Structures are given as C-alpha cells and as structure tokens.
Chain A
Amino acid sequence: MKRPARKAFAFSVSFAAVLCAAGVAAQAQPEEPAAPPTDDPAAGLDAALSGGTQRPRSAVAYDDIVVVPRKAVLKGGRVELAPFTGVTVNDTLIRHFAFGVDANYYLTDVFSVGLEGMYFVKDRTAREGLVGLQYNRIATINKMNWGGALNFGYVPGYGKFSLFNRYIFHWDVFATAGIGMVQTEIIPRLPGAETFKNNNISPNFGVGARLYLTKWLGISATFRDHVFNDKFEPTNRDRAWSIDTVKDNASSRVINAMMFYVAATFFVPPSFEYKTPR
C-alpha cells in the first residue's frame, strides 16, 4: 500500500473508532427527558404506571397515553364496498339465498347513500315437500330472481368492546331504508307449465351492525325487510289459458321478505386523515 493511501486508511479507521465509541456511550446512557417540575402531572402518572417503582426509562413516550382516544375509523368521504350473502328467514315453504354487492358513499361519518344489487337462489323447504304427502295439496309459491335498490343509511350508535381485556375492537350500528325492485316468478303447480314474472317496486328497511377489523376492512350483519305486492298463480288455473290470461287472473298478496345478510366491507380509500388535533 502506498504512503498516501496508508495515511487515508489509518485516518478513516481512527475516525470510525471514534464514532463507535461515541455510539456505545450514547446507548449506555438512556435518553432522559428534562426533569419535570414537581407539579408536573406526568411525573405522578409515570410513577403510577410503574407501580411506584422506578422503571428503566429507555424510551418513555408520554404522547402514547391519550385520555380520550379518537374514533378508530372515520367514514366521511369514503366509499364502502360490501359483497354479501344472505338468506330469507320468515318463509315456511321456500327459502332464498342471496348473493350481491352493496356500494355506499358516506356523505358524513353517519349518513350514507348507496346502491344494492343481488341475485337469488331458491331452495324449497322440507315443510313444502310434505304439503303433498300430508295434505294432498300443492303449495302456491313464487321464487325471487333478482333485486336492486337505492338505499340511505344512518349510523346512530358507535361502540367498542374488549376481548379478554387484551384487544379492543370498534363497531357501529346502522339503520337503512330505501326503494328498489324485486323480480319474482311463479313456480307453476303443474311442472313444465308456462310461467310469468313480476317486477315489483319494493321499499326496504333494515338494521345492522358492523365490526371494524382494520381502518379499511370490516364485517357486517344486517336484517332487512323487502316489502312488495306479489302476484301468484291462480288456484283455478286452466291448462287451456294463455299466460296472459293466467296473469290477469293472478291473486296478489303483500309479501315481507325478511332477510339476514353477512357482508365483508371494504372502505376506499383505505386510509384517512384526522382533521382535528389529537
């Protein structure tokens, strides 16, 4: 090694050694905040937290202690996308499973407006299957094909709970109401007979609860009642009738399709900013 390079190398090693020594010394001495005045409430708080004994104060962070924490999730100005599945809960003869998506825009932290769309899959109950055997009759039932609605939501309640006094979760309750449409179709008593469909205007009302897992992800459960005036296959249907004649002779009844939904909720954008100081 030539002399100038040797000198530079030696200087660098020495400089590095000085830096190392300084670093070791810094780590050995814990960072101490300025000694608080005797009437500083933080001093008493720190003592209380440490159970009265002096704890190592390697990185005490008083700004971690917040007397009143802020709400964990803010919804104002965000879009909620909630794919859901549901089932009817109040029909003895036929059950419908629903699959759909809810999209809501939160105008404020409590008010939302959104659209809902869903597709139904029917499932006849065991009770419906026994009507023929036990009563020698065939049930007159309709199936639901699809539904959609414009909904308004309000969040009246907000809460939190602890799990085994270790973790805290935030949740809220909401109420919704809206107007939309549900398409139904008759299930003819004579298999293979022609059917007709009904596009029914349907207001809906619901209540639910949402649990927040992260700032952008949650799960929710909702009870919703879809109300509509449905038309059924007439009991005196003649095989010679045209489908228009069948529809003209249809009997009508107000239906309450009460459904229970479970949804995963995603908030977009996934993050938000608090506008008030902590």
Chain B
Amino acid sequence: MKKPLALAFCAAVGALALPARAEERTSPLADAPAIRHRLELRTKRFELGAGAGMTLMQDFYHAILLGPRVAYHMTDWLSIAGIAQFNVTPNMKTAFNSDLEKVLPAMATPMDVRTPTYAEAKAGMNKIGQIIALQAELVPFTGKVGLFRRLFASYDTYLFAGPGFVNFTADEAACAAPRPCSSAVTGMKVGATFGLGAHFFVNQAFALQLEFRDVLLRNNPAGRDVTGNRKVTGDDLSWDSTYVLSVNATFFFPRQVKISD
C-alpha cells in the first residue's frame, strides 16, 4: 500500500521539477507601434481645396453647393477647418414640392380659406443660399486601401463639429390675412454642424475628400403654421437638420511630409 503511494509521490515531485520549457514567446515587436515609418500626411500642413456638395432629404428644394475648404492640421490627428458653400440651384424642386404644385389650386377660392394657392404655399418655402461652417476635426483612423488590387491610397477618416451658419432665402416674404399665411424664414441662422469625413491621398500633396455633414438649427421650412393657432410665429420654429454630402479636391502645403519613427 505504501509503495504505490510513495512511487506516485515521487513521480509527482519529478514532474514538477522538470524545467518549464513552455515559456512564453515574446515577439520582438511586442512594444513597437503598429506602424513604423508612417507618412504623417497631415502634421503641420495647410489644406486648401474646393468642391461640390448636395443636400439630402430636403422638404421643398434640393441644393447643389459649390465652395472652398481651408484647414490647418496642427498634428496628425487634430485640425481646424472652415468651409463656405454657395447654392447654385436655388429653384430645384423636390418631388414633394412638385406634387404640391399639382394638387394646390392656382387661383384662390373665396369660400375655402384653409387651402392656399400654390403661389401662397411657395411664398413660405425657404431655400438655402449659403452654408458656412467652422469646425474642429479629430482623426482617429488612418490607413491604406487597395481597389481592384491596382490602385492604392492612404486615407484617413475624421469626425468634426463646430458652429454652422445657413443663409436662407425665399421668393417672397408675404403674409396676407385672412387667407392662410405664409411667412418664409429668411436670413442668416446659426446652429451646430457635425459629421464625418475622409481623405483619400492620391499622392503626398493631393487628396480627394468626402464629407457628410448635418447643420442643425431652428427653422420652419414651409413658413406656415405648425402649432395650429393659424398664425406664423416664432413658436412654429423647430430643430431642423440640413444634410449635405460633399466631395472636394484638396491640396496640402508644404508638399514635404514628415515620416514617423
């Protein structure tokens, strides 16, 4: 009885005494950054570009916008930028606007004061004149992409936020009681802008930039009663989003790029 126990004890001691061969392998790259000798395509560089954008999900008028973009990249991940975009299609109607034109009467009906004529309805619809934004940009992701295994580009994606300004215009600003009133919201309105974008670097000095933006401000796109009191007042304003998708061609200065360790 004691012999087997003694043998088992010895075997256990012997096994434990064996040197630990299965030591943890440590890669020589364990503490190294993920990318070495990385092109710092943004650090301490100015960016100047221009491009076009278009609004999305507008109620009455689409807008195609043209304008410049200026930015300064303080580090590879932080920058400040400004954009100005001008609407070159102020009369491009949405499908909803075109449908209203078909169903609303051309002439006023004296007995029906609740139904506006199309001209009265149109008088209340505002349009985007210009969009101006100042924004801080944060670049969490940088990388490389290959298309069709032929075209390769460095890219970055960024988030941005800042104050946004929209200058609204309208065909007419009219409010003639007792018929249903249209009073377009016009002038420069201040709100917030935020969104995300990406640069695709064709070479070290030139990039294509894509940006999706929301400008959030208080607006009444129809310029008509919203609260149900049959008047158009400040109470009819509500938070309204203006979505813009833009593409820009941008140039970076100076042309030389720093390379990381």
Interface residues of A (CB under 8 A from B): 1, 5, 8-9, 12-13, 15-17, 19-20, 22-24, 26-27, 46, 49-50, 55, 58-62, 64-65, 89-90, 92-93, 127, 130, 133-137, 156-169, 173, 235
CA distance A19 to B12 in the complex (A): 12
What residue in chain A is nearest B35 (Cβ atoms)? A162
Does the CB pair B13–A12 fall under 8 Å?
yes
CA distance A22 to B72 in the complex (A): 64
Q: In the complex, what residues of A have CB within 8 A of residue B115's CB? A: 135-137
Does the CB pair A92–B57 fall under 8 Å?
yes
Give how many B residues have a beta carbon under 8 Å from the other chain's beta carbons. 57
B28: which of A5, A20, A60, A137 is its contact (CB, 8 Å)?
A60
B residues 220-261 near A (Cβ < 8 Å) are 222, 224-226, 228, 260
CA distance A58 to B23 in the complex (A): 9
Beyond A27-B19, A65-B29, whether A165 also contacts B35 by CB under 8 A is: yes
Q: How far is the CB of A230 from chain B (nearest CB, A)?
A: 13
CA distance A212 to B22 in the complex (A): 31
CA distance A173 to B145 in the complex (A): 9
CA distance A113 to B33 in the complex (A): 39
CA distance A127 to B112 in the complex (A): 22
Beyond A27-B19, A162-B142, whether A49 also contacts B10 by CB under 8 A is: no
Does the CB pair A23–B121 fall under 8 Å?
no
CA distance A159 to B17 in the complex (A): 49
Q: How far is the CB of A225 from chain B (nearest CB, A)?
A: 13
Q: In the complex, what residues of A have CB within 8 A of residue B23's CB? A: 58-59
A49: which of B9, B32, B121 is its contact (CB, 8 Å)?
B32
A23: which of B17, B96, B225 is its contact (CB, 8 Å)?
B17
Question: Can you identify 13 A-B contacts, CB atoms within 8 angstroms?
Answer: A12-B13, A16-B17, A46-B28, A49-B32, A89-B57, A130-B222, A134-B116, A134-B224, A135-B103, A135-B104, A135-B121, A159-B146, A169-B141
Interface residues of B (CB under 8 A from A): 2-3, 6-7, 9-11, 13-14, 17-20, 23-29, 32-35, 38, 56-57, 59, 94-96, 100, 103-104, 112, 114-116, 121, 140-148, 155, 157, 180, 222, 224-226, 228, 260
Q: In the complex, what residues of B have CB within 8 A of residue A159's CB? A: 143-146, 155
What residue in chain A is nearest B226 (Cβ atoms)? A130
CA distance A166 to B77 in the complex (A): 14
Does the CB pair B6–A23 fall under 8 Å?
no
Does the CB pair A19–B14 fall under 8 Å?
yes
CA distance A92 to B62 in the complex (A): 12
Does the CB pair A8–B7 fall under 8 Å?
yes
Q: How far is the CB of B125 from chain A (nearest CB, A)?
A: 11
B34: which of A13, A61, A65, A165 is its contact (CB, 8 Å)?
A165
